Chains A and B, each alone.
Chain A
Amino acid sequence: MSEIADKVKKIVVEHLGVEESKVTPEASFIDDLGADSLDTVELVMAFEEAFNVEIPEDAAEKITTVKDAIDYIEKQKVA
C-alpha cells in the first residue's frame, strides 16, 4: 500500500473510531464505517490538512469511500 493510502487509513481510524481491519478500500464512510454527514465534512478537512491539498466541495461530495479519497489525493499529488 502506498504512503498516501496508509495515511488516509490512519486518519479514518482516528476520526471515526473504527477498527483498522474495517477500513478497506471499498469501505463507504457512511454505509460501512458509521460516519454521518458532519463526520465526512470533518474527514475531508483532515485530508486537506494532512496532505496540504484543497478539496473543493463538489469533489468532496464524490469522495464516499476510502478508495475515493486515496485516488483523489494521489491525483492531486501527481499533478
Chain B
Amino acid sequence: MNVSNRERAGLLLSAGLNSERRRVVVTGMGIVGPLGLGVENVWSRLTAGESGIGRITQFDPSDLPAQIAGEVPQGPTSEGKLTLEEWVPVKDQRKMDRFIHMGLVAATEAVEDSGWKPQSEEDKCRTGVMIGSGIGGLQTIYDASITVHEGRARRLSPFFIPSALINLVSGHVSIKYGFQGPNHSVVTACASGVHAIGDAARLIMFGDADVMVAGGAEATVCPLGIAGFCSARALSTGFNETPQAASRPWDKDRDGFVMGEGSGVVVLEEYEHAKARGAKIYGEIIGYGMSGDAYHITAPAEGHYGAYRAMRAAIQSAGLTPADIQYVNAHGTSTMADDMELEAVERLFGDDARTVAMSSTKSATGHLLGAAGAVEAIFSILAIRDNVAPPTLNLDNPSRESVIDRVAHTAQQRQINVALSNSFGFGGTNASLIVRGV
C-alpha cells in the first residue's frame, strides 16, 4: 500500500501534535478474570503458561454445543480468587449485573494501586472514568424478560435498567470515589477495552481531565451469551472434554473462541501530574489508532486491511516505525480470523517481522470480549516492565507459517521497550494501542 498525500498530511499532523501534546502515563492497574484476582497474580500465572479455562459452573451448559469458558475463580483473596462481598456490599450486589461487579473490582484495585485519592473538589473534577463493555447486563435482561413474560411486568425491579446499562460501571466507580470529571463509556464489542483506554488517554491529552480511570468489563458466561455466540458459530465446541486445549490461536485445529469474563482497568494520568505526586509509573500510552472495515457484521475482509490501517494509524500517532516495536499482543481469538491478523502484521512490519514477537494471551484467558483489550493492554505494559513475552498456549501446529515468533507454549525473555496491542470487534471495528516503558 502506498502512502497517499492525505496520509502524509495525517502523519505530519500527528507528528506536530506529538511535540505539544500532554503525555499520558499508567499509574494504576487492576485485573479480575479467568486467571484470578490481582495484576501480579494473573501475570505470574499467565507467564507460567497456566490456563483459566474450564467447564462452565455458573449454569448447567449440557444443552449447549459450547460447555466451557474462562470464569472468574471464586475463593479467598489470599489465593488470588474473588470473594465478591469484600469488594461490593451484599445489599448493593443485586442492584448491579455481574459485569458491573467485575468492573468495580478491577477499578477498585487500579485506584488503590495508583494511590490517587483526590480530596479537593478541583482534583475530583479533574478525574474522570471511562469503562466500556461489549454487551452489558445480558443475564439481568434475560431475567427481567422472564418476569415480563410471566405477566409480572409490574413486579420488575426498579434496579433493572441501571443494572443492565453499560455506562453504569463508570457511574458506580465515580460514585464510589467521588470522581466528578468526564464520565463516559465505550461500546464497540470486543474492541471496547482498547477504545476506552485510547479515548480516555486523548481526553487527558486534550485537557478534559488530568486523571482517567479506564478499561472494560464483561460477564456474559450465561445461557443467552453462550447460546448467542454459538448460533453465530463463533465459539469452540470440539474441546468440551479438554477445556484447556480449546483456545488455540493460529493452531490448525482451532474451532472458535472460548468465552471469558472479568475486567481490566487502568488509571491513566498526565505525566507531570503523576511525577508531581511521586506516583509509580508503569508505562506510557504513546500511540492509538482506529479503523472500520466497512465490510461485514462479524467477519473481517480478506487481508484484514482494517487491522492494518488501525495498527498503522497507531504507529503514526506514536511517531514510530514498525522497527521500534518488539512485542505485539494479538487480538488472536482462536478463530479463522487469526491468520488474517497475522497477514496484516506481516504486511505492516515487512522485514522487521523477523524480530518482533507476537502472542495471543486469549489462549490462557479466553476472550473477555469488551474487557479483553483492557486486560491485554495491561499484559503489554507488564511485558515491557519484565522484558517477557507471554506465551500462546496450544500452538502445536500453525495453520500458516510465518517469520513472526508467536511465542508458542512458553514465555520468552526478550528485550521489549515498545508493545502494540490489537482489538477488533463485530461490526468491523478495529483499534490498536501502543505503550512503552518510562
Residues of A that sit less than 8 Å from B by CB:
15-17, 38, 41-42, 45, 48-49
| Contact in complex: B157, A45 (CB < 8 Å) | yes
Min Cβ gap A19→B in Å is 12
B158 interface neighbour in A16, A17, A42, A48, Cβ under 8 Å:
A42
B90 within 8 A of A: yes
10 residue pairs from A and B, CB less than 8 Å apart: A15-B91, A17-B89, A17-B90, A17-B91, A38-B158, A38-B162, A42-B159, A45-B154, A45-B157, A45-B158
**Residue pair B159, A16 in contact (C-beta under 8 Å):** no
- Contact: A41 with B91, CB < 8 Å? no
User: Residues of A contacting B90 with CB < 8 Å?
Assistant: 17
Is the CB–CB distance between A45 and B155 below 8 Å?
yes
Shortest Cβ distance from A42 into B: residue: B158
- Please tell me if the beta carbons of A41 and B158 are within 8 angstroms of each other in the complex: yes
Shortest distance from the beta carbon of A73 to any chain B beta carbon, whole Å? 17
Q: How far is the CA of A15 from the CA of B95 in the complex (A)?
A: 11
Which residue of A has the minimal Cβ distance to B89? A17
**Given A17-B90, A17-B91: A42 touches B157 (CB 8 Å cut-off):** yes
Q: Which residues in A have their C-beta under 8 angstroms from that of B89?
A: 17
Instruction: Tell me whether chain B's interface is mostly helix, strand or loop, or mixed.
Output: helix
- Taking CB atoms, residues of chain A closer than 8 Å to B157 are 42, 45
Contacts of B155 in A (CB 8 A): 45, 48-49
Q: Is chain A's binding surface mostly helix, strand, loop or mixed? A: helix
Within the assembled complex, what's the spacing in Å between the Cα atoms of A17 and B162? 19
- With both beta carbons as reference points, the residue of chain B lying nearest to A45 in the complex is identified as B155
B contact residues around A49 at 8 Å (CB): 155
Contact with A along B149-180 (1 / 0, CB 8 A): 00000110111001000000000000000000
Task: Give B126-152 interface residues, CB cut-off 8 Å to A.
Answer: none
B165–chain A nearest beta-carbon distance, Å: 14
Contact bitstring B84-95, A, C-beta under 8 A = 1, else 0: 000001111001
Q: Which single residue of chain A is at the shortest CB-CB distance from B95?
A: A38
A48 to B156, CA, bound (A): 12
In the bound complex, residues from chain B placing their C-beta under 8 Å from that of A15 are 91
* Chain B residues positioned under 8 Å from A45 (CB to CB): 154-155, 157-158
| Centre residue among A15, A16, A38, A41 by max chain B CB count within 10 A | A38
A48 to B92, CA, bound (A): 22
B154 → chain A, closest Cβ, in Å? 8
**Bound-state Cα–Cα, A15 to B158, Å:** 13
Cβ-defined contact, B91 with A38, below 8 A: no
- Chain A residues, Cβ within 8 Å of B95: 38
Which of B92, B157, B158 has most chain A Cβ within 10 Å? B158
Q: Across the A-B interface, give the 6 residue pairs with the lowest CB-CB distance, nearest first.
A: A17-B91, A41-B158, A38-B158, A42-B158, A45-B155, A42-B157
Query: When chains A and B are docked, how far (Å) is the Cα of A15 from the Cα of B90?
Result: 10
Q: B278 to nearest A CB, angstroms? A: 37
Q: List B contacts of A16 (CB < 8 A).
A: 91
Question: Please, which residues of chain B bring their CB within 8 A of the CB of A41?
Answer: 158
Nearest to A39 among chain B residues (CB) is B158
Q: How far is the CA of A20 from the CA of B154 in the complex (A)?
A: 28
**Measured between C-beta atoms, what is the minimum distance from A63 to chain B in Å?**
15
Nearest-neighbour CB distance to chain B for A30, whole angstroms, equals 14
Interchain CA distance A76-B195 in the complex, whole Å = 55
Apart from A17-B91, A38-B95, A41-B158: 15 A-B pairs, beta carbons within 8 A: A15-B91, A16-B91, A17-B89, A17-B90, A17-B92, A38-B158, A38-B159, A38-B162, A42-B157, A42-B159, A45-B154, A45-B155, A45-B158, A48-B155, A49-B155
Most chain B CB inside 10 Å of its own CB: which residue of A15, A41, A45, A48: A45
Which residues of the other chain, A, contact B159 by a CB distance below 8 angstroms?
38, 42
**B59-93 Cβ-contact flags toward A at 8 Å (1 or 0):** 00000000000000000000000000000011110
Closest to B157 in A: A42
- Residues in B whose Cβ lies below 8 Å from that of A17: 89-92
Smallest CB gap from A41: residue in B: B158
Distance of A41 Cα from B90 Cα, bound (Å): 19
Measured between C-beta atoms, what is the minimum distance from A47 to chain B in Å?
12
Question: Once the chains are docked, how many angstroms separate the CA of A42 from the CA of B91?
Answer: 13
Complex Cα distance, B223 from A37, in Å, reads 32
List of B residues within 8 angstroms of A42 by Cβ: 157-159
CB distance from B74 to the nearest CB of A (A): 21
CA distance A66 to B89 in the complex (A): 23
**Chain A residues, Cβ within 8 Å of B92:** 17
